[in-house]
Amino acid sequence: MANYPASQPGSQRHTLSVLVENRPGVLARVAGLFARRAFNINSLSVSPTERPDISRITVTADVDTVPLEQIIKQLNKLLHVLKIVELDAATTVDRELVLIKVAADESNRSDVLEIVRLFRVNVVDVHPESLTIEATGAEGKIDALLGLLEHYGVIELVRSGSVAVTRGPRALSEKVLGSEITGR
Amino acid sequence: MALPTPLQAFSSVPKTSVGNDKQTIVNGEKMTGAQALVRSLEELGVKDVFGLPGGAILPVYDEIKDSTKFRFVLVRHEQAAGHAAEGYAISTGRVGVCLVTSGPGATNVVTAIADANMDSVPMVVITGQVGVGAIGTDAFQEADIVGITYPVVKHSYLVTRAQDIPRVLTEAFHIAATGRPGPVVVDLTKTAQTGDMYFSWPQRMILPGYNPTTKAHGRVLADAAKMFSQSYRPVLYVGGGAVRSGAQRQIAELARVTGAPVVTTLQARGILPDSDSANLGMLGMHGTVAATGAAQRSDLLVAIGARFDDRVTGDLTSFAPTARVIHIDIDPAEIGKNRVADVPIVGDVACVLDDLIPETTRTQAIHGKPDLTHWWASLNKLREDYPIDYDQPEDQPTDGSLSPQWVVKQLSGMADPETIWVAGVGQHQMWASQLVDFERPRSWISSGGLGTMGYGLPAAIGASLGSQRDFEGRKPVWLIDGDGSFQMSSEELATAFLDGAPVKIAILNNSVYGMVRQWQTLFYNKHYSATMLRDGEATKDTAPEDFVDVPDFVKLAEAYGCVGLRAFTEEQAIDAIKRANEINDRPVLIDFRVWKDAMVWPMVAAGAPNDEVTYRPGTKPLRRAAAQGADDAAQVSGAASV
């Protein structure tokens, strides 16, 4: 039952959406739970939501189902955690923002720009020796883009980590409606 | 009615940030945060507070006056404040409270917080903190106690504004006592203590993320009842959660209704009287053969407020291999953590059993009650053949000292039936749990999950003060401690004497770290590395200049104003126990000189399967029984089909 470490090679990718109170120390509590159980977090992004009193954490991790269940239960025990949902890839919009600095001079700049056009991403900075590309998309698209750009030499790379939201008209925070978290 | 769209739903939410530091409530009585803290504790009905002052908490201590409605108990070490609050909480069922300063004061209490967290003890720890402006500057006696305690608390608060104090205290007590009980840390900055605020009571709690389930939902009760009607070898495996929930009546009734035997964890000793024939005693590493065997051979294991700890299960994969599992626990994270439950029931034990018992009776009326005669016959045979026993030749002291098990048995036999028993951690703890006759719930206080040495004396002080408060002192407190464990908190004899906690202390002094020595004997080739204490080597015939006894426990007790007694022989031991039982105005310590090679049996080696339980060296009764198990099972199913 108890697997340690929880992240094993070949484990499946899971995306968790965690609604938490927007206050100091919450992320440390959440991240601490992952760390203690040797979860290798693949990506993590946090920011306030449509409600200023609530923040949303999106975590992706490669992990087996049983330890994942345990960590969801443990997360639920944190008082600052309001709601946890494991997002199903089929009904989820999943995006990541990446900034890629590619080594490109006049000899190959147009080739790189062609790739940029094909992927419908943007160039946000140009230098005689480099191009900085801003790309958003699901993981597969980003990986494909990176695969092509690698060839030219990636100088610098930064990824935001996944943010994800379910399709359709419902908001996750509807489930914590009525709990006004103010005044402290 | 159509649900609001997200846009509608959120249109009522103010767009501007609501966070500001302005006083939002200006009605109520104006006072400082420190005064508000004392007032909040009074309003919450706190009667006793354990602690030790210091710079960063001084504004609060300045407000503790003769007219303050709670009693303040000054300890000599902050860890003891925590353990005393634990002992107080376990014996009375109320939240224990500690009040300590920042930095070292706060870090000293971390062990007690971790201990309370493992054993689900309701406790509120208030720590001082440097001023808000100084946080993060490495100011004198600054420690990030909220950060340090993240992994070992149920919840924690850093309070920076005076006006938050009453609400935070209300929430802290609510969180500590409800759901799965646990420790809550309230870190109180000096800014909050000295700031002005308007006090009002009661306070509205803001806990959107805290909704413990107490009542069982769905079909689980019917499923559980059905499982009882289909099981011919059921066992109720009862843990500390049942004690915290106060479910002794329900446990006894469930045992009566289903006819199932009861096995308990260390924490749940006493929940069912030992004289009750359904009680097989403690299971696991040092449990009885009957209890361990019952779990191993059961076809239905009903875990009630228990968490499948490794000291109970041994090797998890071979624990209760033929059993289906009903798991009742208030903490959903415990269910399926170590063992998959066939019927998971989330809820408060007492509340769930109140619903489960009538459901079981109803199911029995339809399907009948399984015949458990064969099951009980085999368990009774185990119980008769392998009792907890210390009369074997290898248990007899070879150096003329006392047998520690015999001492525990005498203590139990001669004690007031209302006695609250407390133990430190080690061999003596196991002997106490095995050999004391528990007849009442909440009469046993011991550090289980964390196994904290030095727990005993402060916990006993807490229990003794709790007894004075809640039971008018009618429950005397006996502490059974080891010489090693006792020395980790012996300075609290001062607290016991000065604060009027007449605990009776039995030190089973074998002059070694007994449990470690037992493991060294069994698993480390008798290499007794660093386990000799040299604090009880003298015998009654030794000339004074020929030995070292450091410390001399009798003199140590006398130095603190307590009565010190010593017993080398059985007659002296009986006399000393008699005297201790008569003294009720001050603490009494008896230094029982016991044999250092005594061992705790039965034993399952750490990580070994429970079927390997060793009753005596060379005797593994369940392994033999496991071979016969197939025959038994055939017999039982034969009986079932008739």
**pLDDT of B23-55, one tens digit each?**
566 778 999 999 999 999 999 999 999 999 999
Is the confidence at residue B18, as pLDDT, over 70?
A: no
Contact B428, B591 (CB under 8 A): no
Select the more confidently predicted residue: B19 or B585.
B585
Closest CA to B260 of B381, B371, B356: B371
Residue A122 to residues A46, A112, A128, A146, B81: CA-CA distances in angstroms? 24, 11, 17, 14, 62
Closest CA to B396 of B594, B602, B603, B539: B594
Residues of B in contact with A51 (CB under 8 A): 10, 13
**Degrees to nearest 5, angle at CA B321 with B315 and B325:** 105
Residue A97 tokens, joined: 């923002």
Q: Are residues B272 and B311 in the same domain?
A: yes
Nearest to B18 among A25, A81, A182 (CB): A182
Could you check whether the bond before residue B344 is cis, i.e. omega within 30 degrees of 0? no
**Degrees to nearest 5, angle at CA B176 with B175 and B181:** 110
* Interface contact A1-B340, CB threshold 8 A: yes
**Degrees to nearest 5, angle at CA B340 with B260 and B640:** 35
* Interface contact A78-B164, CB threshold 8 A: no
Residue B632 lies in a domain: no
pLDDT given for residue B548 in this prediction: 82
* Position B12 confidence tier, pLDDT thresholds 50, 70, 90: very low
Residues of A in contact with B333 (CB under 8 A): 70, 73-74, 76-77
Nearest to B151 among A1, A32, A82 (CB): A32
Alpha-carbon distance of A97 to A56, in angstroms, equals 17
Contact A180, B207 (CB under 8 A): no
Phi, psi dihedral angles at B119 (to 5 degrees)? -100, 10
Closest CA to B206 of A20, A159, A183, A154: A183
**pLDDT of B442-500, one tens digit each?**
999 999 999 999 999 999 999 999 999 999 999 999 999 999 999 999 999 999 999 99
Residue B523 lies in a domain: yes
- Burial of residue B205 (number of CB atoms within 10 Å: 0-12, 13-18, 19+): middle
Contact A96, A81 (CB under 8 A): no
Residue B527 lies in a domain: yes
pLDDT given for residue A180 in this prediction: 56
Domain stop point among B575, B593, B611? B593
Active-site annotation of B, residues: 78, 140-141, 190, 515
Distance, CA of B493 to chain centre: 22
Phi, psi dihedral angles at B551 (to 5 degrees)? -85, 165
Q: Are residues B270 and B302 in the same domain?
A: yes
* Position B5 confidence tier, pLDDT thresholds 50, 70, 90: very low
pLDDT given for residue A52 in this prediction: 86
Nearest to A176 among B19, B208, B338 (CB): B208
b/e per residue B327-350 (b: at least 16 CB within 10 A):
bbbbbbbbbbbbbebebbbbbbbb
Contact B49, B466 (CB under 8 A): no
Q: Are residues B411 and B327 in the same domain?
A: no
Contact B329, B241 (CB under 8 A): yes
Structural domain of B348: 218-386
Distance, CA of B34 to chain centre: 32
**Which residues of chain B are at the A interface, by a Cβ-Cβ cutoff of 8 Å?**
3, 5-6, 9-10, 13, 17-19, 24, 146-147, 150-151, 155, 158, 164, 167-168, 175, 206-210, 316, 331-333, 336-340
Alpha-carbon distance of B305 to B244, in angstroms, equals 9
Which residue has tokens 């470690």? B516
Within B130-238, strands assigned E span: 155-159, 183-189, 196-199, 234-238
* Interface contact A183-B147, CB threshold 8 A: no
Q: Are residues B232 and B171 in the same domain?
A: no
Residue B491 to residues B87, B244, B291, B599: CA-CA distances in angstroms? 17, 29, 38, 29
| Cα of B159 to nearest chain A Cα, Å | 9
pLDDT given for residue B400 in this prediction: 87
- Helix pair B621-641, B289-297: axis angle to 10 deg: 50
Q: Are strands A81-87 and A13-21 parallel, antiparallel or unpaired?
A: antiparallel
**Average per-residue pLDDT for chain A:** 88
- Burial of residue B639 (number of CB atoms within 10 Å: 0-12, 13-18, 19+): middle
Is the confidence at residue A1, as pLDDT, over 70?
A: no
Residues of B in contact with A20 (CB under 8 A): 209
Closest CA to B361 of B216, B220, B228: B228
Q: Look up residue B639 and give its DSSP letter.
A: H
Look at chain B and count its residues: 642
A21: β partners: A54
Please give the residue of chain A at the shortest CA–CA distance from B184: A79
Domain stop point among B329, B358, B386? B386
CB atoms within 10 A of CB B108: 18
Residues of B in contact with A180 (CB under 8 A): 206
* Position B627 confidence tier, pLDDT thresholds 50, 70, 90: low
Residue B545 lies in a domain: yes
Contact B350, B216 (CB under 8 A): no
* Position B234 confidence tier, pLDDT thresholds 50, 70, 90: very high
Contact A34, A61 (CB under 8 A): yes
User: What ipTM does this complex have?
Assistant: 0.89
Contact B237, B283 (CB under 8 A): yes
Alpha-carbon distance of B356 to B223, in angstroms, equals 10
Beta-carbon contacts below 8 Å between A and B: 78
Residue B125 tokens, joined: 């720890």
Task: Report, in this order, helix, strand and coil percent for chain B, each rounded to 5.
Answer: 45, 15, 40
* Position B101 confidence tier, pLDDT thresholds 50, 70, 90: very high
Structurally, at CATH architecture level, domain A12-87 sits in 2-Layer Sandwich (3.30)
Residue B618 lies in a domain: no
Residue B613 lies in a domain: no
Is the confidence at residue A2, as pLDDT, over 70?
A: no
Instruction: Provide DSSP, B426-467.
Output: SHHHHHHHHHS---STT-EE---SS--TT-HHHHHHHHHHHH
Q: Are residues B372 and B419 in the same domain?
A: no
pTM for the whole structure: 0.92
Domain stop point among B325, B358, B386? B386
pLDDT given for residue A181 in this prediction: 54
* Position B628 confidence tier, pLDDT thresholds 50, 70, 90: low
The residue-averaged pLDDT of B157-176 equals 97
Which residue has tokens 């017993």? B567
Look at chain A and count its residues: 184
CB atoms within 10 A of CB B17: 11
Residue B537 tokens, joined: 């080597």
* Interface contact B206-A181, CB threshold 8 A: yes
Residues of B in contact with A176 (CB under 8 A): 208
Residues of A in contact with B9 (CB under 8 A): 171, 174, 177
Mutate to test the interface with A, among B10, B171, B204, B309 (most CBs of A within 10 A): B10
Q: Are strands B300-304 and B234-238 parallel, antiparallel or unpaired?
A: parallel
Alpha-carbon distance of B28 to B201, in angstroms, equals 9
Residue B406 to residues A56, B436, B580: CA-CA distances in angstroms? 61, 11, 17
Q: Are residues B190 and B318 in the same domain?
A: no
* Position B353 confidence tier, pLDDT thresholds 50, 70, 90: very high
What is the third-level CATH fold of A93-163? Answer: Alpha-Beta Plaits (3.30.70)
Residue B274 tokens, joined: 């030992």
Percent of all residues in chain A with a pLDDT value above 90, rounded to a whole number: 64
User: Domain containing B312 — which CATH number?
Assistant: 3.40.50.1220
Ramachandran bin of A31, using left for φ above 0, alpha for ψ from -120 to 50, beta for the remaining angles = alpha
Q: Are residues B136 and B189 in the same domain?
A: yes
Is the confidence at residue B220, as pLDDT, over 80?
A: yes
Give the number of domains in chain B: 3
Asked whether this chain's domains A12-87 and A93-163 adopt the same fold, the reply is: yes
Name the least confident of B7-16, B164-173, B189-198, B279-288: B7-16
3-state secondary structure of A112: helix
Percent of all residues in chain A with a pLDDT value above 70, rounded to a whole number: 91
Q: Are residues B398 and B531 in the same domain?
A: yes
Is the confidence at residue B17, as pLDDT, over 50?
A: no
* Interface contact A70-B336, CB threshold 8 A: yes
Nearest to A70 among B10, B209, B337 (CB): B337
Select the more confidently predicted residue: B623 or B84.
B84
Q: Look up residue B135 and give its DSSP letter.
A: T
Contact A34, A59 (CB under 8 A): yes
Residues of A in contact with B155 (CB under 8 A): 79
Q: Which amino acid appears at position A132 of this protein?
A: T
pLDDT given for residue A177 in this prediction: 56
Is the confidence at residue A5, as pLDDT, over 80?
A: no
Domain residue spans of chain A: 12-87, 93-163
Q: Number of helices (H) and strands (E), helices first, in chain A?
A: 4, 9
Select the more confidently predicted residue: B345 or B26.
B345
Q: Are residues B397 and B295 in the same domain?
A: no
At B589, which helix (H) or strand (E)?
strand B588-593
User: Domain containing B184 — which CATH number?
Assistant: 3.40.50.970
pLDDT given for residue A184 in this prediction: 43
Residue B284 lies in a domain: yes
3-state secondary structure of B487: helix
Is the confidence at residue B631, as pLDDT, over 60?
A: no
| Cα of B57 to nearest chain A Cα, Å | 22
b/e per residue B505-514 (b: at least 16 CB within 10 A):
bbbbbbbbbb
Is the confidence at residue B6, as pLDDT, over 50?
A: no
Is the confidence at residue B383, as pLDDT, over 90?
A: yes
3-state secondary structure of A110: helix
Is the confidence at residue A152, as pLDDT, over 90?
A: yes
**Average per-residue pLDDT for chain B:** 93
